[in-house]
Chains A and B, each alone.
Chain A
Amino acid sequence: MSVNNEEKNIEIVESEVLETELSEKEKESVSVKSMEIPVSELLGEKTGVEEKKEPSEREKELSEKGKKSSEKKKFKLSSGALSKVFSLSNILLGLRLCVIVAAVVFALAAVNYFTSPVIKGNEEEKGNVARSALVPDATSFSLYEGDIPESGRNVSEIYVAEQNGDTIAYCVGITTAGFGGDIDLVVAIRVDMSILGIKVISHSETVGIGASALEEDAALLPQFSGLPASSVDNVTAVSGATVTSNAVKSCVEEAAVVVNALVKGADSE
């Protein structure tokens, strides 16, 4: 601290209280602070109880203003209750939702009006392509309008494949439960009860297992081509995809039963 040398002049000065003017901001914070700290705190005394009383009284006064807006009256059921229930504000609220929903639905219906024919066309075309591939020598397909026999409860629709006016085959759209969900198939069966082929419309089978079993060039589907409907049992399932294979087999069997009934019915006419 002191230099280890000759001390020539020893000056004792009053400690300089270097006081600087606080900037505006600091003044503000200081003045706020000064109002906040009660006397007792400065003196270091603990006045816990007193402190609590004072601010709470002030709080009560000031919070009256805040609380008034939030008071809600209790809902009592009285004779005037019905008029309250059907009050204008409630009805208006209902109307508002009504308007929003109406606008949305209007837009939706308009879009639907324009796109639904396209969608229908797409689906029909897809179906036509599938059916033509299954029954190559058919000249026309027509939707079967009659009742689907009882035994065909999983059947969605039946198309009649005609060649020059004669029915040569039936394309049965059938759905059944596979491993991961429903499998939609179209099974084409000739009138002589031999299977023409199967087309998979949609499925949710596991990729690599059930899904590959359902592929066109996999081992399962080609087995059905030309097979008589009575020997579906002899079809070997794909190993590892037993459920899928069995689902397909049961579909074909059911389709065969339906076609059998239809053929018999047509014959009897």
Chain B
Amino acid sequence: MKKINKQEMKKIFLDGIVYKNPIIVQLLGMCSALAVSTSVINGLGMGASVTAVLVFSNVIISLLRNVIPNQIRIASYIVVIAGLVTVVDMVLKAYIPSLSASLGLFIPLIVVNCIILARAESFASKNPVLASAADGLAMGIGYTAAMVVVSAIREIIGNGTILGFDIFGGNYSPALLIILPPGGFLVLGGVIALFQYVRSKTEKKEGEK
């Protein structure tokens, strides 16, 4: 088994969380990101589910990468991912029914979330198991972090609460637009713009050094 060193691991994690953040940089899986990020708890829950599916699917596909012939590659990936998502769905319904109810349709939609198939195709199918698992974890953490940021903004402005706790007292009349779909686009766009601005500034500084 090809050994992976600390530097590579560090690179994988940095890539997943910052430089190739699936939502903010790669702009993958935005359907669920926009729809689910109406409250921090939902964001966290979705993030955790996506991370779980990512890690396991990456591991499985990495284990099978030399066994799956080219013609049935896509079919196999989809079967594995769908199976994993169904398992996650069943577990949630059984043990955390409230989260399952609030995430609703978007748990099954994880199957077609671009992030998972993209990482499977571009990373897990070409890299050893440990690296793939790390990559899945890193991407999942990046996804969760981005979701939490967006959800927090939307929940605070659009609902006056965070994690269910009122922060403005009872008199806050919420800006509903932020919770509705257009608000999702606006907030996500703003977060991406801010991130890119900060990134270009730091790159300029490093370039000048």
Contacts and interface: CB of A to CB of B under 8 A. Distances in A.
Please say whether the chains A and B touch (CB closer than 8 A).
Answer: yes
Contact of B75 (A97, A111, A119, A207): A97
Given A100-B79, A207-B176, A111 B64 contact: no
B179 A105 contact: no
A2 to B, nearest CB: 42
Nearest to B174: A208
Contacts of A126: 97
Closest 4 CB pairs of A and B: A118-B94, A104-B83, A115-B94, A208-B176
Nearest to B86: A108
B93 to A, nearest CB: 5
A207 B83 contact: no
Contacts of B101: 202
A108 B83 contact: yes
A93 B71 contact: yes
Nearest to A98: B72
Contacts of B76: 97, 100
A119 to B, nearest CB: 5
Contacts of B83: 104-105, 107-108
Interface string B19-53: 00000000000000000001000000000000000
A115 B95 CA distance: 9
A45 B77 CA distance: 58
Given A100-B76, A206-B180, A207-B180, 16 more contacts: A93-B72, A96-B68, A96-B72, A97-B72, A97-B75, A100-B68, A100-B72, A104-B80, A105-B83, A111-B90, A111-B91, A116-B90, A116-B94, A118-B94, A119-B90, A208-B179
A89 to B, nearest CB: 9
